[in-house]
């Protein structure tokens, strides 16, 4: 195990929230909760703690803006009280268009405290995701102390973070300005963790060091001891946006003429009314709404086939590795998914890949997965090949990178 030198202090700037606050966030959210991003951060933090680092976590939670996506005009903390994990949550004005300015100012204060109070010879700031307030605060810290190393974890590229059809032209205009600003900030980053190798070109990483890790999991062994009776349950958990193929999934399922088959969907987004209306027409389809991560995991674990209907039909797929695929595979259930350009070829043997982009091909892939006879062999393949994604292994890789650069 690679452990950090005792002389290095690490500040993690992120949008994590603890599970004790999940109910409140779900209740106040009007669109979808960033459960996948939160799970990623939770595992990252746990991994760093296993490495024995001097870690401080500061969070501006990844909630939506007021008034369109979240109830609170000002985020003042959570109703459930103080952090049980020693996470410092910053307060900020949550009004759309102003909130990033407020988030940045609040984060800068915590960064200034970190720089002034740390007596370590080596200091690092780790930024979770290309979010302007996180990057601005980190670069500010580097101005205060030129020796600070900035490491950025990049689960998605900023220009592809909102694929909703409902994005307003004003949003697109300000987003383009934000991305230009972000490019200047990213130039100050010293090292990276990327989810696909193609991200390096898009981020102009150049000769700066980086590692490629396509996801993070806390499942070391796939459940297979108590084999459940095989059924015909299909499930999807995630954002209900057309770009992710949710409408195609429902259309494909409706082509499966089997009254015993069921489709279970959870999540929120622009297609929620469509999903709700479809449930009224086809009683085999069950929609659970926006649910806590634990409930979503329960739905996935209890299913027989999990589907990620996102197709390889746009440029962004080169820079994307859906965390959903990792979560799906680690349940041990059959997984239907398309091979995206950003996914290593080795995943082809772990997935049931549709023959083409037609709805009929997706339906056929689901039918094939429902009768999969190689589930135990697939579980063994997944377990062997995904050990580098275990949360302690991911943290160890990042710490190894920081260790190497500090000497």
Q: Are residues 399 and 361 in the same domain?
A: no
Q: Are residues 323 and 242 in the same domain?
A: yes
Q: Are residues 207 and 247 in the same domain?
A: no
| Residue at 143 is within a domain | yes
Are residues 140 and 111 in contact, defined by beta-carbon separation less than 8 angstroms?
Answer: yes
The phi and psi torsions of 237 (rounded to 5 degrees) equal -130, 125
DSSP state of 95: B
Any idea what the CATH number is for the domain that residue 277 is in? 3.40.50.2000
Q: Are residues 100 and 159 in the same domain?
A: yes
Q: Which tokens in the block code for residue 1? A: 């195990």
Most confident of 4-8, 89-93, 119-123, 243-247: 89-93
Which tens digits make up the pLDDT trace of 148-172?
A: 999 999 999 876 555 555 566 766 6
Query: What's the pLDDT score for residue 225?
Result: 40
Q: Are residues 56 and 138 in the same domain?
A: yes
Pairing of the two strands 54-59 and 8-14:
parallel
Q: Are residues 16 and 140 in the same domain?
A: yes
Which tens digits make up the pLDDT trace of 104-140?
A: 999 999 999 999 999 999 999 999 999 999 999 999 9
Domain span at residue 247 reads: 233-386
d(CA 234, CA 306): 6
| Residue at 2 is within a domain | no
Q: Are residues 194 and 318 in the same domain?
A: no
Consecutive H or E run containing 78: none
Are residues 305 and 234 in contact, defined by beta-carbon separation less than 8 angstroms?
Answer: yes
Q: Are residues 184 and 85 in the same domain?
A: yes
Q: Is 70 exposed, middle or buried (0-12, 13-18, 19+ CB in 10 A)?
A: buried
Q: State the average pLDDT for the chain.
A: 90
């Amino acid at each position: 195990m690679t452990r950090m030198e005792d002389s290095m202090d690490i500040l993690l700037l992120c949008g994590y929230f603890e599970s004790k606050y999940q109910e409140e966030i779900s209740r106040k959210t009007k669109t979808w909760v960033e459960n996948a991003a939160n799970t990623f951060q939770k595992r990252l933090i746990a991994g760093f703690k296993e490495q024995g680092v001097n870690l401080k976590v500061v969070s501006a939670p990844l909630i939506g803006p007021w008034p369109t996506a979240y109830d609170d005009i000002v985020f003042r903390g959570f109703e459930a009280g103080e952090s049980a994990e020693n996470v410092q949550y910053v307060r900020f004005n949550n009004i759309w268009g102003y909130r990033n300015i407020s988030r940045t100012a609040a984060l800068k204060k915590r960064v200034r405290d970190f720089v002034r109070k740390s007596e370590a010879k080596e200091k690092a700031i780790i930024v979770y995701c290309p979010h302007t307030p996180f990057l601005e605060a980190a670069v500010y810290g580097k101005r205060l102390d030129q020796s600070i190393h900035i490491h950025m974890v990049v689960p998605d590229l900023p220009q592809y973070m909102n694929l909703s059809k409902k994005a307003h032209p004003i949003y697109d205009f300000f987003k383009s300005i934000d991305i230009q600003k972000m490019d200047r900030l990213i130039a100050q980053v010293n090292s990276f963790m990327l989810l696909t190798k193609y991200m390096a070109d898009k981020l102009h990483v150049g000769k700066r060091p980086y590692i490629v890790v396509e996801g993070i999991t806390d499942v070391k062994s796939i459940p297979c001891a108590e084999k459940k009776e095989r059924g015909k349950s299909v499930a999807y958990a995630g954002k209900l946006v057309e770009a992710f193929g949710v409408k195609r999934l429902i259309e494909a399922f409706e082509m499966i003429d089997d009254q015993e088959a069921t489709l279970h969907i959870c999540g929120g987004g622009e297609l929620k009314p469509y999903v709700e209306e479809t449930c009224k027409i086809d009683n085999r389809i069950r929609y659970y709404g926006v649910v806590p991560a634990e409930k979503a995991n329960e739905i996935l674990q209890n299913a027989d086939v999990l589907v990620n209907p996102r197709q390889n039909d746009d440029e962004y797929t080169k820079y994307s590795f859906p965390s959903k695929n990792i979560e799906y595979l680690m349940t041990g259930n059959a997984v239907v998914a398309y091979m995206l350009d950003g996914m290593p070829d080795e995943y082809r043997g772990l997935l049931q890949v549709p023959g083409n982009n037609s709805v009929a091909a997706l339906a056929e892939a689901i039918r094939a997965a429902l009768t999969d006879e190689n589930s135990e062999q697939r579980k063994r393949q997944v377990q062997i090949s995904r050990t580098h994604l275990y949360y302690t292994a991911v943290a160890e890789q990042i710490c190894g990178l920081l260790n190497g650069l500090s000497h």
